[in-house]
Amino acid sequence: MTDLTKPSGQPGNGDLPATGTAAVGEVAAAGSPAPTAFLEVRDLHVHFPTDDGLVKSVDGLSFRLEKGKTLGIVGESGSGKSVTSLGIMGLHTAGQYGRRKARISGEIWLNGQELLGADPDEVRKLRGREMSMIFQDPLSALHPYYTIGRQIIEAYRVHNEVTKEVARKRAIELLDRVGIPQPDKRVDSYPHEFSGGMRQRAMIAMALVNNPELLIADEPTTALDVTVQAQILDLIRDLQKEFGSAVIVITHDLGVVAELADDLLVMYGGRCVERGPAEKVFYEPQHPYTWGLLGSMPRIDRDQTERLIPVKGSPPSLINVPSGCAFHPRCPYADVPKDNITRTERPELSAAGGGGHFSACHMSQEERTRIWTEEIAPKL
Amino acid sequence: MLAYLIRRLFAVVVMLLVVTLTTFAIFFVIPKWAGSDPALLFVGKQADPAAIEGIRQKLSLGDPVLVQFWHFVQGLFVGRDYASGTDVTHCPAPCFGYSFRTEQAVWPQLTDAMPVTLSLAAGACLLWLVGGITTGVVSALRRGTLWDRSAMTVALAGVSLPIYFTGLLSLAIFSYSLKWVNVDYKGLGDDPAMWFESLILPWITLAFLYAAMYARLTRATMLEIMGEDYIRTARAKGLRERAVIGRHAMRSTWTPVLTLLGLDLGALLGGAVLTETTYNLPGLGRLAVNAITEKDLPVILGVTLIAAVFIVIANLVVDLLYAVIDPRVRLG
Amino acid sequence: MKQLSRSRRIAGAAAVVGALLATAGCGGGGSDDEGSGAGFNAAVKGVAAKSAKKGGTLKFVNKQEFDSLDPQRQYYGFAWDFSRFYARQLISYAPKPGNAANELVPDLATSTGKISNGGKTYTYTLRDGITWEDGSPITSKDVKYGIERIWAKDVVSGGPGYLRQVLDPKGEYKGPYKDKSKDKLGLKGIQTPDDKTIVFNLAKPNGDFEQMLAMPTGSPVKADKDTGAKYTNRPFSSGPYKVQSYTPGKSLSLVRNSNWKKASDPIRPALPDKISVTFNSNLEAIDRLLIKGDYDVFLSATGMTPSGRNDALKQHKGNVDNITTSFVRYVDFTTKVKPFDNIHCRKAVVYGTDYKSLQTTRGGPQAGGDLATNMLPKSVKGSDDYDPYGILKRGGKADPAKAKDELKQCGKPGGFSTSIVARNDQPAEVDAAEALQASLKKVGITLNVEPIQGSTSASITGSPAVMKKRGYGLSMTGWGPDFPTGQGFSQPLIDGRFIEQTGNYNVSETNDAEINKYFDDALKETDPNKAGAIYQKMNHKVSDLAVQMPFIYEKNITWRSSRLTNAFSSAAYNGRYDYSQLGVVK
Amino acid sequence: MTAPLHGTSTDSDPVATADVAADVVKASVEGRSLRQIAWTRLKRDKLALAGGIVVVFLVLVAIFAPLIVSLLGHPPNEFHQEEIDPLFGTPKGSMGGISSDFLFGVEPSNGRDVFSRVVYGARISLLVAFLAAVVAVVLGTIFGIIAGYFGGWVDSLISRVMDMLLAFPQLLFIISLVSVLPNDLLGLTGSGVRIAILVSVIGFFGWPYVGRIVRGQTLSLREKEYIEAARSLGAGRRYILFRELLPNLVAPITVYATLMIPTNILTEAALSFLGAGVKPPTASWGQMLSKAVGTYEDDPMFMIIPGVAIFITVLAFNLFGDGVRDALDPKGTR
C-alpha cells in the first residue's frame, strides 16, 4: 500500500548487531503476518475530522523497535510525533466525545498482538502494564488533587490485585529507585509540593510501577531546567538498562536523543522523512529538514551567544499538505532537483548511505552529501 | 490557619461595617441630599411640627449619621437601652433595634423569617447542585448527542426565564388550575408535610434557573477537564473509563462549581426576594421588600446585615472547601 | 351574556396553558347561585343573619398590620372598629346599620354629655358596674389619664390629636410622663370631681366634641397598667375581650374578659368566645382563604382583589356585600403651582376628565364606586347631589368642547403640561393617574405621572414647598372622615388655616375666607342638622372653586363568610361591619 | 487570600505544551486572524445565528417602535376601556382580548394595547440592558487593567472592592437606592431619571464581573513577551496599556459584554417587577408582569405575553453570546 523500503541487509530480529541499527529496519506491509519485532508499526494513519477539514496528523508511518533499544522520534510540533505515541497507547481518541472521532488505520503490533483491531478493553489492560507513557509536563500530567503516592498506588492496583499497603510499599520502593529522597515521606506529598525534576521522576516511577516492556517518553524534559534535563535523561537510560524495556523518546530537540537513542526517526507533516541509526542520522543526515533541525540545536561545545539557525517558515498545514515534498515550501534546496519535481511528486523513503539509513528526498545522494559536507556541516 | 482565620474575620467585620454604613447612607444621607427630611418618612398621618420633632427625638435622627451608626453597632454587640417615656427598655444583644413602623423588635422578626429563606435556599441549592451537575456531566460525556443538545437547550431556556414568570406560570398551572399543590407556607416544625408541599414549587422554580447555569458550567468544565493531561495520564495507567471520570474528572469539576456557588450565594437573596414575592413566602426577602417600601430602616438594616453575614459565612465555607478539595490551596 | 364571555375567555386561555383548562370548566357557570351566604348585599340592606347565639371563634384575616393596639395610638379605621372589643369610651357609635350608626350613644357614661357654659363644658357621669379586666372599677380618673396620654407625643404617637387641640390648644400640658403632680392628672382641661363624674372644659365651643370623644383616643387607661410605648403589645382591657396573645405580623387572639359585665354595656353583645386575627401578606391568598372558609372577615375591608372578586361574584354571590365606604377618591389641584392658580385651567381639567375611565380603573361601579359629583361623602351631613359641572348628566364622560373653552379663558388654548403625583403602593392610584393622563391628552393637556412611595407622601404632598418646587400641579389621593361631620371630613383638606409647611393635607392650599367662615359657624352649632346645612354651603363653594376634583364615592366588594351572624355595614366605621356586633354559627 | 487555583503551567514553549486538539486546530487554522476564524465559526453555529437574527430583529423593533405601532397597534398609552368588562376589569374578548385590532390583547382595567406596550417595552429593556453593560464594561476595564497592570496595593485595593461588591446583597441595595432617590435628578425628569438610575446601578454592580476577567487577562498578558519587549524598548505606560494590552482584551470583553446584556435585561425586569423600574405609563415588561400578578387567574394571557417577550429576548441574547464566546475561544470547546 504505501512506500515500503527495501530490506537493507539488516534482519529485523531481536538479535542485534553491534551497530545498533536493527531497530529501524524494514517493516512489513500492513496485512502481513505477525512480526517478530517487539513493536512494529505498519502504515499508521491518524486523521482528525475538524470543522475546517480532515487533519492528517499521521499519514502512513511505519517503524519497528526491539526490546532494550531506544528509538527517538524527532520533529516540530504538529509533525505527528505525539499523535503517533498516543495511537500506540490507544489514547488518540481520549477526551474526544461526540460525532467527530479520530480515525486510525494501519497496524500496531506489540509483542505479537495487534492493537488497533483488538478489543478496547484488552488494550486498556495493556496500558500501564505492558506499555506506559511519560508526559512532557509532569505538573499538568499528574492530578493536582491527589498525592503522588495515591496516583502510583492506583496505577499499580489497576493491574495487580494487592492491598493498599503492598501497593504503597511498591510506590515507595519505586520513588526511591527514581532518586526521590525520603520516599516514605514524599509518597504523601502532592505534585505541587515537588520540584519540576522531582515530579518527572515521580511520573517515571508511576510509569514503571508495573515493569512495562514499552516505555514512551513524550518530550520528557521539555518542561524542565537544563541541568535537571540531563538527570532525567540519565535516569531513563539507567532504568532502561535495568528493566530492559523498549523505549520511545519523542522530542523536538535532537540534543535530547543524541545520547539516548539507538535509532532516530525524523517526522515532518505526519510522515517519516528520515530514519536510521542515531549516529548515522547525526553525522550524515540525508534530509534538508534534518539539517535544519541540527542547525537549530544548541550545543554545549558552541558559543552560546551565537545565533541558532532555525528552520525558516512555519510547519505545514495538516489539512492541505503541500503538494509534492511537504517540506518544499521551506526547503532552501527545493529547486535543486529538476523539473519542479519537488512540487509535484512526493518523495518516497529510500535507502540512503546504507546501514539502515533511509531518507525521503528528491535530491540525489551525491547532491545531499555535497551540500551537507560543503554548506551545512562547516557552519554547525 | 489561625492567622488566616483572624485575617478572614477581620475582612468579614470590614465587609459588614461597609454594608451597614452603606445602608445607613442610603436612608439618611441620600434623602437629605435630595432635600427631604428623613423624619418625614416616619411620621404618621398627623405630621405637625411637634410630631415630627417627637419622631426625630425618638429615632435620634438629630444625631449625626456616624453617631447613629455607632449606636447601632454598639447595640449589635452589647445591646442597647431605649428610653420610652415611662421606663427604659433594654434591647439585648444582638440588638437590631425596633421597627419604625410596628415598633416591634427587629431581631425576632429576622429569626422568624430566616428559617423560611433558609428552607427555600437550602432545598433549592441541593436540587440545583444535584440536577445541574448530573445533567452537565452526562451531557459532556454524550457531547453532540440528542440528549446533550436537548439538555443544553433546556438549560439555556432555564437561564433565560425570569423566576417570577416561571413562578407565576407554575402557580397558575399546578396550584390554581390543577390544584396539585397547596402553596400556603407552614413551618417545618409546625407541619412538615405542609412545609414540604408548600415549598415544592418555589424550590423547583428557584432551582431551575440555577440548575441550568450549573449544568452549562459543569458541561463546559467537564469537557475542558476531559482534555486535561492528567486525565490522559489516568487513561495511560489503564484505568477504566468509569474510574477516569468518577475519580479523576469529577473531583476537578468541583472547583469551578464552588467558585460559582460562592458568587451565587450573593445573588441568591435576590432570587429569594423574587421567589418569596411570587409565592408569598414569609421569608427575609419579602420582609426586606416590605420594609423597603415602608422605609423601615431598622428592618432593612437587619435583613441586609443578616444577608451579608450569610454571604460572608458561606464564602468562608466555600474557601475552606476549596482547601479540602484542592490541596494546592493554602489557607494563609 | 356575561357567562358566555367568561367561558369563552377561559377556553381561549386554556388553549395556551393547557393545564388551566382542567378546572376552569366547572368555574364557568352559575352566577345566580347565591351559595350558602345570607344573600347579596344582605349586610348593606340590613342585618345579615340576625342572631343572639353565643360561642365560637370569630376569625379575621388581614394583610395590613395594626398601626397599634394602644387605643390612644390607633389611626387606622379598621383598628378603631376592632378596638371596641377591648376598649370602651364614654360615648360611642350606635350599633345600627348604615348611616344610623353615626348617632352617638352612651357607653361608659350613663348618657351623652350635658353641655353647658355656651357649649364649652361637657359633663358625664359614669355607669355602675364598669370594670377593668382585673375586676377593679373603671373610674373617671382612668378616663382622664387615658386621654392625657395623647399629650405625650413622643411616646404615645400616631393617634389623632383632636382632643389635644380642643382641650389644650396652646399645648401647655406635657403629658402624664412628664407630669409633676402626684396622681399624674395635671391636665387642666379635664376635671374629675369624683370617681363617677368627669368634666371637660373646651377652650372654645366645638359642636363635634363628642365625635372626638368617641374615638379610641377617649378610652380609659389604668395608670398603673400603663406600659408607655409597650402598651400596644398588651392593652389592659375595659371591654368584653382581652388580649390573649399578640405576635405582630402573624396573629392576634382575644379571649373573653370574665370581669366584663354584660349589664354594664349597652352596646356590645359579645357573641363569640374567641376572636382571632391572622396576618397574610398576599391579598390574593386572603381572598382564596376567605372563599375556602378558613376565615370570616377581611379585617381592613378594603375590597377583594380582581380575581377574588371574579370568583366570589360568580359562584358565591350570596356571600358578597357591595358596601359603600366613606372614602372619596379625588384629585387635588395645587393652586400655588402654575397654571392651576387660574380657575379656568382647573376647570379645563375638570371638563377634560373622563370620569368613567377613572371609575373603571378603580374597579367599575361595584368594586370601585359611584361617580362622584362633589367632595362630601353621603354619610356626612350636608352632602347632596350638587353637580355644577354636569358630570352625571354626561354619564361621566369628558366634555372636550367645554374643556377647550376653559383652556382659552385660561390663556392656554393649546393646552399645557403638568405633573400628577400618585402613591405607588396604591396601584389603583397610579392606574387612575394614567387614565387621567390618557383622557387629558385628548384636550391638549400633557400629564406626567410621578409615582411616589406612600410612606414618603408626608414629605411630598405634605410639603407645599416641595410641591411647588417640583411643579406637581395635581395629586391623586383619597380621603375618609375621622368622624362623620363636615369638620371631620373637610376641615383639614380645605380650611386655609390648616395649611402646614410639613404634613399638610390642604394640598390645594385653598385659603378662602368664605369657606373658613363656614367652618367657624358650623363648629358653634351643637345641632348636627344645622351644622350640616352650613357644611352643605361650604361644600358647594369648594365645588365652585374647582380646587378638588372628586371622581368616585368608593364602594368595595366585601366577603362575608357563611358562618357570620349579625353582620351589617356601619357608616361610622367606613362601611365596614360593626365588628363588636358580629357572631358566628359554630 | 487563596492561592491561584490553576497554577499557570510553564509557558516556555507554548507550542509544545498545547494538547493534541489545540495542536490540530492551531495547525489547521494557521495564518488567519482571530476575527476571521471567529466569523467563520459563528457562521457555522446555527443556533447562535438564529439568536443573532432575533437580536437584530428586536433591536429594529425597538428602534422603529413608533412606526410599527402606528401600523399594527394603538398608541401605547391610549385607553380602550370599551374592551374591558366593567364589573371584573378583565378584557371582554377571549384570550385576553386578542383580536385583529389588538394583536396581543388588551391590558386589564384600562384596555391599553398589549402589542404596543410590548413593542415599546423592548425599548426600555434593550436600552437599559445595553447602557448598563457599557457602564459595567467601561468601569470593569478601567479598574481591571489598573489592578492587573500596576499590581501591589492598587491591585489589592481594587480586588477587595470587587470581592466586596460581589458579596453585596445587590438586589436589596438597588431597590433601596431607587426607593429613596428623588424623581428629578441632575436636570433629568420623568422616566429619564429612572432609566439613568437603573443604568447606573445595574452597571455599577456589574463591573466587578468584568473587572475580574480583565484583571486576570492583564496579569497574564503583562508577563507576555511582547509586553516585555515593548517595555524594554522604553514604551510608556500609556502606550503599553492602550496599544498593547487593550487590543488583546477586546475578545474577552466582547464575550462578557454580550453575555451581560441578557442578565441585565433580567435584572431590569426584576426591578420593574418589584416596582423599582421605569415610571408609568412608560411600558416595561417587568411592570406588566407585576400588574399581571393580580389578574393572571382570570387573564393569563396578560402574564404570558410579557413573560414570553422577556424569555425570547434573553434566550436570543444568550444564544448569540454563547456563539460569540465559542467563536472567540481559542480552545474551541464546542
Using one digit for the tens of pLDDT, what is the confidence trace for C527-572?
889 999 999 999 999 999 999 999 999 999 999 999 999 999 999 9
pLDDT number for residue D186 = 61
Q: Is the peptide bond before C235 cis (omega within 30 degrees of 0)?
A: no
Q: Would you say residue D321 lies in a domain? A: yes
Does A363 score more than 60 pLDDT? yes
> What are the backbone dihedrals phi and psi of residue D85, each rounded to the nearest 5 degrees, phi first?
-70, 115
In a domain, residue D52? The reply is no
pLDDT of residue D12: 28
Q: Do D300 and C431 lie within an 8 Å CB cutoff?
A: no
**Closest residue of chain C to D75, computed from CA coordinates:** C438
Look at residue D250 and tell me whether its pLDDT is greater than 70.
yes
- What would the grid cell of residue C397 be? 364622560
Q: Which residue has the higher pLDDT, A299 or A313?
A: A313
Condensed to tens digits (0 to 9), the pLDDT of residues A303-334 reads 555 545 667 777 788 888 888 888 888 888 88
Q: Say how far apart CA C563 and CA C561 lie, in whole Å.
A: 5
Asked whether residue D23 is domain-assigned, the answer is no
Q: What burial class does residue B150 get, using C-beta atoms within 10 Å of its C-beta: 0-12 exposed, 13-18 middle, 19+ buried?
A: exposed
β-pair type (C274-279, C57-62):
parallel
Q: How many residues does chain C have?
A: 586
The predicted pLDDT at position A221 comes to 81
CATH classification of the domain holding D96:
1.10.3720.10
Residues C250 and C31: their CA atoms lie apart, in Å, by: 35
User: Which cell is C578 given?
Assistant: 360593626
Using a pLDDT cut of 90, give the percent of chain A over it.
11
Is B84 near chain C, with CB under 8 Å? yes
Give chain A's count of helices (H) and strands (E).
Answer: 13, 12
Distance CA B254, CA B46 (A): 59
Q: What residues form DSSP beta bridges with C91?
A: C106
Which cell numbers in the block locate residue B237? 495507567
Q: What is the pLDDT of residues C349-386, one digit of tens each?
A: 999 999 999 998 888 888 889 999 999 998 899 999 99
On the question of pLDDT at A59 being above 70, the answer is yes
Cell of B291: 420594609
**Is the per-residue pLDDT at C176 higher than 60?**
yes
Q: pLDDT category, C17, cuts 50, 70, 90?
A: very low
Q: For residue B27, what pLDDT band results from cuts at 50, 70 and 90? A: confident
pLDDT tier, C269 (very low <50, low <70, confident <90, very high otherwise): very high
Size of interface C-D (CB pairs under 8 A): 118
Per-residue buried b or exposed e for A38-60, using 16+ beta carbons within 10 Å of the residue's own CB = bbbbbbbbbbbebebeebbbbbb
Asked whether residue D34 is domain-assigned, the answer is: no
Whether D311 and B26 lie within 8 Å, measured CB to CB: no
Q: Containing H/E element for C105?
A: strand C104-106
Give me D197's grid cell: 438610575
pLDDT value of residue D188: 59
Give D330 to chain A, closest Cα distance, Å: 14
Task: Name the residue of chain C whose CA is nearest to D299's CA.
Answer: C13
Nearest-angstrom CA–CA distance, A175 and A182: 9
Q: Check whether A95 has a pLDDT greater than 60.
A: no
Q: Quick one: pLDDT at residue B1?
A: 67
pLDDT at C377: 92
Q: How many domains does chain D have?
A: 1
Q: Check B233 against A143: CB less than 8 A apart.
A: yes
pLDDT recorded at residue C219: 95
> Are A and D close enough to touch, i.e. 3+ CB pairs under 8 angstroms?
yes
- Report whether pLDDT(B88) > 50: yes
Hey, which residues 234-273 in chain D have their CB within 8 Å of chain B? 262, 266, 269-270, 273
In the numeric block, the cell 378603631 is attached to: C80
CA distances from residue A117 to A30, A40, A107, A122, B196 in whole angstroms, order as listed: 13, 14, 8, 10, 56
Does the structure show a pLDDT above 90 at C157?
A: no
Instruction: Give the neighbours of chain A: at least 3 Cβ pairs within 8 Å.
Output: B, D
Q: Residue C493 in contact with residue C547, Cβ under 8 Å? A: no
Are C449 and D301 within 8 A, CB to CB?
Answer: no
Band of the pLDDT at C18, cuts 50, 70, 90? very low
Which cell is C126 given? 359614669
Of B40, B103, B280, the CB nearest to C285: B280
Residue D285 forms part of a structural domain: yes
Whether B223 sits inside 8 A of A89 (CB atoms) is no
**Nearest CB to B238 within list A95, A124, A203:** A124
How high is the mean pLDDT of chain C? 87
Model confidence at C29, in pLDDT bands (50, 70, 90)? very low
Residue D316 domain-assigned (yes or no) = yes
Q: Find out whether C304 and C312 touch, Cβ atoms under 8 Å.
A: yes
What's the pLDDT at B55?
67
Q: What is the C-alpha radius of gyration for chain D, rounded to an integer number of angstroms?
A: 24
- With CA atoms as reference, report the closest residue to B170 among B279, B87, B315: B279
B33 near C CB under 8 A: no
Query: Using the beta-carbon criterion (under 8 Å), do C437 and D98 form an inter-chain contact?
Result: no
Please indicate, yes or no, if residue D28 is contained in any of the structural domains: no
Candidate from B47-56, B154-163, C231-240, D24-33 with smallest mean pLDDT: D24-33
Interface of D with C in 162-191 (CB under 8 A): 179, 183-184, 189-190
Contacts of C290 (CB under 8 A, 6+ apart): C61, C296, C298, C308, C559, C561
Distance from CA of D266 to the nearest CA of A (A): 33
User: Among C73-77, C295-299, C389-393, D146-150, which stretch is predicted with the lowest mean pLDDT?
Assistant: D146-150
Residue with cell 499523535: A83
- Kindly list the residues from chain D whose CB atom is less than 8 angstroms away from the CB atom of residue B152: none
Q: Which residues 449-478 in chain C show a CB within 8 A of chain B? A: 453-456, 458-460, 462-463, 466
pLDDT for A250-259, tens place per residue? 988 888 888 8
Q: Does residue C209 have a pLDDT over 90?
A: yes
Q: What is the mean pLDDT of residues C316-326?
A: 92
Give the Cα separation of B224 and B255 in Å (integer). 13
Q: A186 in the Ramachandran plot: left (φ > 0), alpha (ψ -120 to 50) or beta?
A: alpha
Domain assignment of residue D284, yes or no: yes
The lowest-confidence range among A331-345, B169-183, B318-332 is B318-332
Please answer yes or no on whether C9 and D299 come within 8 Å at the CB atom. Answer: yes
Q: Provide the pLDDT confidence category of residue C16 given band limits of 50, 70 and 90.
A: very low
Q: CB distance B165–D167 less than 8 Å?
A: no
**Cell triple for residue D146?**
489598573
CB contact (8 A) between residue D10 and residue A57: no
What pLDDT sits at residue A96?
Answer: 54
Look up the pTM and report it: 0.78
Whether C469 has its CB under 8 Å from any CB of chain D: the answer is: no
DSSP C20: G
Between residues C200 and C3, the one the model is more confident about: C200
Look up residue B248 and give its DSSP letter: I
CA–CA separation, D5 vs A145, rounded Å? 11
User: What is chain D's mean pLDDT, rounded?
Assistant: 78
- So what's the pLDDT on residue C54? 92
On chain C, the residues whose CB falls within 8 A of the CB of B179 are 23
Q: What pLDDT sits at residue D332? A: 46
Distance CA B59, CA B56 (A): 5
Residue C495 predicted with pLDDT over 60: yes
Closest-approach residue (CA) in chain B for D298: B172
Residue B81 touches chain C, beta carbons under 8 Å: no
* Residue A92 or residue A367, greater confidence: A367
Cβ of A77 and D21 within 8 Å? no
Kindly report the average pLDDT of chain B as a whole number.
81
What are the phi and psi torsion angles at C372 (to 5°)? -100, 145
pLDDT at D274: 84
CB contact under 8 A, D297 and C307: yes
Indicate the pLDDT class of residue C220, thresholds 50, 70 and 90.
Answer: very high
- Of the candidate ranges A333-347, C61-75, C529-543, the one whose mean pLDDT is the lowest: A333-347
Q: Say if D172 is an interface residue toward chain B (CB within 8 Å).
A: yes
What number is the average pLDDT over the span C566-584? Answer: 93
> In the numeric block, which cell numbers belong to residue D253?
470583553
Min distance D24 CA to chain A CA atoms (Å): 7
Mutate which: C10, C21, C67, C157, vs B, most B CBs within 10 A: C157
Partner residue facing D94 (CB), from C12, C310, C449: C12
C572: nearest Cα among C379, C426, C418, C431? C379
Q: Which of C95-99, C441-445, D28-32 has the lowest mean pLDDT?
A: D28-32
pLDDT on residue D20:
39
C-alpha cell, D89: 376589569
D192–C contact, CB cutoff 8 A: no
- Domain carrying residue D195: 63-326
Residues from chain A that touch D20, judged by Cβ atoms under 8 A, are 82-83, 86, 92, 95
Query: Which phi and psi angles does B32 have, rounded to 5°?
Result: -65, -45
Please tell me if residue C102 touches chain D, with a CB cutoff of 8 Å.
no
Which pLDDT value is given to residue D329? Answer: 67
Cross-chain CB nearest to A143 (options B143, B227, B248): B248
Tens of pLDDT, residue by residue over C35-48, are: 567 789 999 988 99
Pairing mode, strands A271-277 and A350-351: unpaired
CB A254 within 8 A of CB A74: yes
**Which of D326 and D223 is assigned the larger pLDDT?**
D326
CB atoms C425 and B293 under 8 Å:
yes
Residue C4 is predicted with a pLDDT of: 32
Q: Which residue of A has its CA nearest to B140?
A: A97
Q: How far apart are CA C563 and CA C565, in angstroms?
A: 7
Which of these, A275, A202, A282, A212, lies nearest to A247 by C-alpha position?
A212
Kindly determine whether residue A55 and residue D27, on different chains, have CB atoms separated by under 8 Å. yes
Query: Tell me, what's the pLDDT at B85?
Result: 52
Q: What ipTM describes this predicted complex?
A: 0.76
